[in-house]
Amino acid sequence: MKLERLFEDNHCLAVNKPAGLLSQADASREPSLVDLVRQDLKTRYRKPGNVYVGLLHRLDRPTSGVVLLAKTSKAAGRLSAEFRSGRISKLYWAIVEGVVDEPAGQWIDRLEKDCRSNRVDVVEENSGSGKTASVDFEVLERWGRYTKIALWPATGRSHQLRAQLASRGLPILGDRKYRSKKGLKAEDGRFRIALHARQLTFMHPTLKEAISVEAPVPADWPELSQPWRERWYGSRKPAADSSP
């Protein structure tokens, strides 16, 4: 699998993770993004020994988009601190089943994870459990019973966007775990969901200047499929890769 590099210097590397690929290895021992990045660095820079790769955040397996990694432990420490403090800005695109009536707004919920089912649910604010999750949203386009929205999460909870949308009767297209009625396939044949980490903005660990990295949607993004184009756009070309 070929890596799509979006930004790279001596300190960090941003890539466009394809849907279906693990961010990091798990008990299955299947190839992961970290494995691919490590091998890519070893090959391109002809490094015979171990190569440092610091995974700073993760995307769920069925999600595509920007992932930022550190190439040095010093950069990893500084960038991890940015993630923990919430200073890093993340923009996602999603296509959901259902109509979002408001043009823009904010959703704040309390989320609780069931580790046995690996599922997250919205719970009552006074439940005494879970963690607060917040996201700003803006509607980008509507097609019949589907809506494309931009999402700016202020928190980074597990399955946050998937759970918050599903709780409002707006499951992400393809997300069967969260009650989507339709399945989607990634390029590698595994399932994907219509959630894409479109942009990530961070403060460079040594230059101290803001870096914004943007990930093009992949070929398996629903808007780019022939049936979707014919159904919703006719002869018009969708602006699937234009900024919101």
89-97/195-203 β-pairing = antiparallel
Name the residue with tokens 């800005």.
Answer: 89
**Ranges assigned E (strand) in the chain:** 5-8, 12-17, 54-55, 64-70, 89-97, 104-114, 119-123, 131-143, 146-153, 184-185, 191-192, 195-203, 210-214
In a domain, 240, yes or no: no
pLDDT at 40 over 80: yes
Q: Residue 242's pLDDT is what?
A: 52
In a domain, 237, yes or no: no
Contact 63, 19 (CB under 8 A): yes
Residue span of the structural domain in which 172 resides: 5-232
119-138 pLDDT per residue, tens: 999 998 877 788 999 999 99
Structure tokens of 20? 């279906």
Residue 67: helix, strand or coil by DSSP?
A: strand
In a domain, 208, yes or no: yes
217-235 pLDDT per residue, tens: 999 999 888 777 677 766 5
d(CA 20, CA 185): 9
Active site residue 60: yes
In a domain, 97, yes or no: yes
Q: Residue 50's pLDDT is what?
A: 87
75-92 pLDDT per residue, tens: 999 999 999 998 999 999
4: left (phi over 0), alpha (psi -120 to 50) or beta: beta
CA 195 → CA 29, 56, 93, distances in Å? 25, 19, 6
Domains: count for the chain: 1
In a domain, 54, yes or no: yes
pLDDT at 100 over 60: yes
In a domain, 238, yes or no: no
The residues, ordered by sequence, that sit 6+ positions from 88 with a Cβ below 8 Å of its Cβ are: 79, 82, 200, 201, 202, 203
Which is nearest to 87 in space by CA: 216, 217, 208, 215? 208
Greater pLDDT, 201 or 232: 201
User: Which residues, listed in sequence order, are joined to residue 54 by a DSSP beta bridge?
Assistant: 70
In a domain, 58, yes or no: yes
- 131: phi then psi, degrees, rounded to nearest 5: -130, 150
Structure tokens of 96? 């959901």
d(CA 131, CA 139): 26
Looking up residue 11, the CATH number of its domain turns out to be 3.30.2350.10
Which is nearest to 92 in space by CA: 212, 214, 184, 210? 214
Q: Residue 72's pLDDT is what?
A: 96
Contact 105, 137 (CB under 8 A): yes
Q: Which of 9, 35, 60, 109 is catalytic?
A: 60
Q: What global pTM score does this model have?
A: 0.92
In a domain, 72, yes or no: yes
Residue 227: helix, strand or coil by DSSP?
A: helix
pLDDT at 237 over 60: no
Q: Residue 229's pLDDT is what?
A: 67
